């Protein structure tokens, strides 16, 4: 459970204490990021600062459209843009989600879901439109053969920046566990999830399967976007007018995206790249189109999609069981309570009367029952 961070004006924690860092982490991180920006403006430090801000490993000559390959210097850019992700995360939380949640008056559990799904909805919305723009401009999905043609093909600027941002967002989630005061029992599972996401994007990126990677990310982000939108609607929709519809759409999209990811992976790694010119493994040239590498990556993608599909099925089974339990719970009987209250009122009224009147009331009630 993530507790949303709110700055409190009443308390002034000691400088460099845990509470001080958590409350002011956006300001601290933005100052660190500004050091790199200022370093870019100074001639002496500009070459070093440009490694963190500008994209590296340009494989084209001057005057041509820039194309890039993956390399170790990319981790410097991943680190810098992860700082930017932390700052943007804090801005969205403080100036959007916190203000909306105050008006909705949500409980603690719903507030945690609202904050988490709100942050991820923004990220997946941007990633979905950005990924769709790249796929359509480069004609990856209308012409599926482009996913494996000219391997290892260099990347255009937007494609490389897109993948760098994906890595940076996964990296920024690790310090966010501390900044958002995640509970200890949830810390390890969320950290493992962030590291796994980081590795699952890193491996195909450095193996030059970037065209396939952007298509798989587009499918995944589309399904996750609708899932977190449905989570937001469930926290707000108290009467559940739209929750069932959005939940159904989310489930269909999740299953469809898993199936689509499997089809694209099999076509690219099993069929498409196998038709290309086979060469021995060459790490320096970035050539990894060998049967061992391809089948290993394909096996990893299939296992991941199966795991995600089983998770969706388990969630639906657990939700259906909860609904059955909710419907089978007997409703409290109100009539008996009302009758007992009436009898108590009558007995109290009779107790105030003398004995002769109490006896006459009892005989009259007895005659009415007999009739």
In terms of DSSP H, where are the helices of 237-276?
Answer: 243-265, 273-275
3 state DSSP class of 131: helix
Q: Quick one: what percent of the chain has pLDDT higher than 70?
A: 84
Name the residue ranges covered by the structural domains of the chain: 55-328
**Residue 43 φ/ψ, nearest 5 degrees:** -65, -35
pLDDT tops 70 at residue 359: no
Place 361 in a pLDDT band, splitting at 50, 70 and 90.
low
Nearest to 198 by CA among 178, 169, 221: 169
Taking the CB of residue 206, how many other CB atoms lie within 10 A of it? 17
pTM (predicted TM-score)? 0.84
What pLDDT digit, counting tens, does each position of 56-67 carry?
A: 999 998 788 899
Place 12 in a pLDDT band, splitting at 50, 70 and 90.
confident
The predicted structure's pLDDT at residue 281:
87
Determine the distance from the C-alpha atom of residue 8 to the mean position of all C-alpha atoms in its chain, rounded to a whole number: 27
Place 328 in a pLDDT band, splitting at 50, 70 and 90.
low
Which residue has better confidence, 106 or 371? 106
Q: Is the dihedral of CA 341, 346, 349, 354 positive or negative?
A: negative
Place 127 in a pLDDT band, splitting at 50, 70 and 90.
very high
Query: CA 309, CA 257: separation in Å to the nearest integer?
Result: 10
Place 326 in a pLDDT band, splitting at 50, 70 and 90.
low
Q: What is the mean pLDDT of residues 307-330?
A: 81
Q: Which residues pair with 156 in a beta bridge?
A: 67
The predicted structure's pLDDT at residue 327:
64
pLDDT tops 80 at residue 29: yes
pLDDT tops 70 at residue 3: no
The predicted structure's pLDDT at residue 13:
85
Q: Quick one: what percent of the chain has pLDDT higher than 90?
A: 63
The predicted structure's pLDDT at residue 363:
56
Query: CA 228, CA 85: separation in Å to the nearest integer?
Result: 19
The predicted structure's pLDDT at residue 229:
95
What pLDDT digit, counting tens, does each position of 162-217 carry?
A: 999 999 999 999 999 999 988 888 889 999 999 999 999 999 999 999 999 999 99
3 state DSSP class of 314: helix
Q: Which residues pair with 155 in a beta bridge?
A: 68
What pLDDT digit, counting tens, does each position of 74-104 carry?
A: 999 999 999 999 999 999 999 999 999 999 8
């Amino acid at each position: 459970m993530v507790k949303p961070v709110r700055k409190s004006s009443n308390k002034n924690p000691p400088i460099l204490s845990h509470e001080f860092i958590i409350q002011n982490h956006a300001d601290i991180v933005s100052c660190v990021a500004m050091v790199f920006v200022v370093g870019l403006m100074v001639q002496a430090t500009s070459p070093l600062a440009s490694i963190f801000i500008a994209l590296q490993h340009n494989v084209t000559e001057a005057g041509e459209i820039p194309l890039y390959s993956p390399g170790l210097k990319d981790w410097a850019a991943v680190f810098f843009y992860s700082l930017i992700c932390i700052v943007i995360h804090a801005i969205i939380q403080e100036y959007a989600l916190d203000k909306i949640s105050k008006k909705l008056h949500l409980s603690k559990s719903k507030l945690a879901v609202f904050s988490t799904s709100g942050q991820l909805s923004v990220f997946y919305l941007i990633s979905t439109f950005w990924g769709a723009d790249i796929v359509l401009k480069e004609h990856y999905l209308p012409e599926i053969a482009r996913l494996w043609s000219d391997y290892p093909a260099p990347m255009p600027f937007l494609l490389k920046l897109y993948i760098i941002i994906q890595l940076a967002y996964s990296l920024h989630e690790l310090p966010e566990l501390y900044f958002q005061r995640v509970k200890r029992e949830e810390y390890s599972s969320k950290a493992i999830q962030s590291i796994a996401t980081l590795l699952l994007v890193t491996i195909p990126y450095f193996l030059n399967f970037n065209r396939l990677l952007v298509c798989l990310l587009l499918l995944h982000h589309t399904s996750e976007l609708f899932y977190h939108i449905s989570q937001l609607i469930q926290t707000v929709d108290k009467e559940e007018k739209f929750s069932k519809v959005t939940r159904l759409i989310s489930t269909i999209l999740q299953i469809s995206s898993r199936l689509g990811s499997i089809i694209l992976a099999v076509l690219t790694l099993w069929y498409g790249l196998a038709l290309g010119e086979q060469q021995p493994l060459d790490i320096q040239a970035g050539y990894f189109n060998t049967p061992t590498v391809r089948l290993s990556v394909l096996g990893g993608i299939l296992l991941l999609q199966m795991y995600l599909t089983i998770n969706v099925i388990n969630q639906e089974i657990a939700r259906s069981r909860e609904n059955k339990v909710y419907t089978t719970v007997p409703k409290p009987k109100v009539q008996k309570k009302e009758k007992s209250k009436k009898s108590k009122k009558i007995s109290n009224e009779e107790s105030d009367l003398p004995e002769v009147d109490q006896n006459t009331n009892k005989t009259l009630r007895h005659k009415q029952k007999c009739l």
